[in-house]
Amino acid sequence: MFKKLIQNKLESYVKQYFKQHPEVKLVLVVGSVGKTTTRNAIASVLSQRYRVRMEQENHNTEISAPLAILGIELPEKLHSPLAWINVFQAAKLRVSEPADVDVIVQEIGVDHPGEMKHYGTYLQADIAVVTSVAPEHMEFFKTLDAVAAEELSVMAFATHTLINRDDIDDRYAELVSDADFSTYGSTGSAEYHIEMTDLSPRGGSRGMVTTPESDEPFEVAVQLIGEHSMRPVVGAIATGLRLGLTREQVITGAAQMRPVYGRMNPLRGLDDSTIIDDSYNSSPAAAESAMQTLYRFDTEPQRIAVLGSMNELGDTSADEHRKLGELCNPDLLAWVVVVGEDATNYLAPAAKKRGCQVHVARDAIDAGEFVRSVMEPGSVILVKGSQGDVYLEETVKILCDISEHDQLVRQSDSWHAIKNQHFSRFRDN
């Protein structure tokens, strides 16, 4: 009851804020995967012309999203009435004072059916960006069709919607037929699209972008790697152009983008290797895209994939892990290293069946130690994992240069306590 009262109060302040400041634009970023990278890319582009509010942390839940929109910190003591009184006072001030931003870029996450519809009771987006439809929280959604219906329902409270053409299946077109929308991605059938022209482990990527606003394609260069990492760039460029930025401004904004920690972030590894740190989270679509990026590094002496179990897949987990194992190509990979129960039970056998050399690691630390023993100088190593019972950032820590440790995810004291308890189970055994 207390949480519901707080939530209702915060949502009312958000409604008051936009009523008082109709000039402030709202960009919502939703989707199964890729939200944070897309959100950051959009903020980077829009900041070339506008004052932008975007919270660095993933404040995308029912309680934290309204606070992030208002630019107010989530209180440390969530059950303290005094803390919330201070929050409400700050919210009243935010509503009454002149707007300090021109655009708010907000990420929205959904864990259960019906949550997106609720956001529409107090938000109206100028632009909504739908990054993907992929298996997520399948213990609640059950089917991918249900996920698609949930994510795409944002269109009901968005003036215009940008849809990732590559990562949303064509069969969901019927869900968007009555809305005002455009598509973006790396396929030529999208109105806003990019054609990759160059990729290097540490030098980033280049591509030619085609848009309805420009008579001819133009080049962008970004410090991101992978075709799927370039799709958020295109989404950001599309958002910028639709909000009045010039071509030169979106090119400059794209050049300033940097990888989000733990999301396809190339780090300097030991022995002149490159560690692609994708350890923050893993899902079938993201893992497949990460593997395709790894395969593009075809001039390096060795490629290794460290793959952790993908969480929150419900009844689809076994099948999705087998599919990922079947993507492991023995001609392109020196080793496949797996961590986690479902990766061990389903991904590893599928990769072995394809002919891959597979090492089943007892935990992330064992995975790092094994890779360290077999890696060659100049290798490219993909580390793709999740948090619960996986924690592959600890694999990355073993493999990368110590100067890169400040870019690793889940390194706070509280996370160390959780992980120490997790790893002690394997050390004791």
| Three-class secondary structure assignment of the chain | CHHHHHHHHHHHHHHHHHHHCCCCEEEEEECCCCHHHHHHHHHHHHCCCCCEECCCCCCCCCCHHHHHHHCCCCCCCCCCHHHHHHHHHHHHHHHHCCCCCCEEEEECCCCCCCHHHHHCCCCCEEEEEECCCCCCCHHHHCCHHHHHHHHHHHHHHEEEEEEECCCCCHHHHHHCCCCCEEEEECCCCCCEEEEEEEEECCCEEEEEEECCCCCCCEEEEECCCCHHHHHHHHHHHHHHHHCCCCHHHHHHHHHCCCCCCCCCEEEEEHHHCEEEEECCCCCHHHHHHHHHHHHHCCCCCCEEEEEECCCCCHHHHHHHHHHHHHCCCCCCCCEEEEECHHHHHHHHHHHHHCCCCEEEECCHHHHHHHHHHHCCCCCEEEEECCCCCCCCHHHHHHHECHHHHHHCCCCCHHHHHHHHHHHHHHHHC
Which pTM was predicted?
A: 0.85
Distance of CA 354 to the CA centre of its chain: 29
The answer to whether residues 367 and 392 touch, using CB atoms and an 8 Å cutoff, is yes
The answer to whether residues 142 and 150 touch, using CB atoms and an 8 Å cutoff, is no
Q: In this predicted structure, what is the pLDDT of residue 202?
A: 67
Distance of CA 335 to the CA centre of its chain: 26
| Amino acid (1-letter code) at residue 75 | P
List domains and CATH numbers for the chain.
2-255 (3.40.1190.10), 265-428 (3.90.190.20)
Which residues of the chain are under the pLDDT cut of 50? none
First vs last C-alpha separation in the chain: 44
Q: How far apart are CA 387 and CA 131, in angstroms?
A: 21
Q: In this predicted structure, what is the pLDDT of residue 401?
A: 95
Q: In this predicted structure, what is the pLDDT of residue 278?
A: 96
What strands, in cross-sheet order, belong to the sheet with 204-210?
52-53, 103-107, 25-30, 125-130, 158-164, 181-185, 192-200, 204-210, 218-222
Q: Which residues contact 101 (CB under 8 A, 6 or more apart)?
A: 24, 50, 51, 52, 53, 71
CA angle, 159 then 165 then 167, to 5°: 110
Residue 398 sits at φ, ψ, to 5 deg, of: -70, -30
Q: In this predicted structure, what is the pLDDT of residue 60?
A: 64
The answer to whether residues 307 and 343 touch, using CB atoms and an 8 Å cutoff, is yes
Q: In this predicted structure, what is the pLDDT of residue 325?
A: 98
Q: How many Cα atoms occupy the beta-carbon half-sphere of 166 within 13 Å? A: 24
Dig out the tokens for 236 from the structure. 């950001």
Q: How far apart are CA 209 and CA 254, in angstroms?
A: 11
Q: In this predicted structure, what is the pLDDT of residue 59?
A: 66
Q: In this predicted structure, what is the pLDDT of residue 336?
A: 98
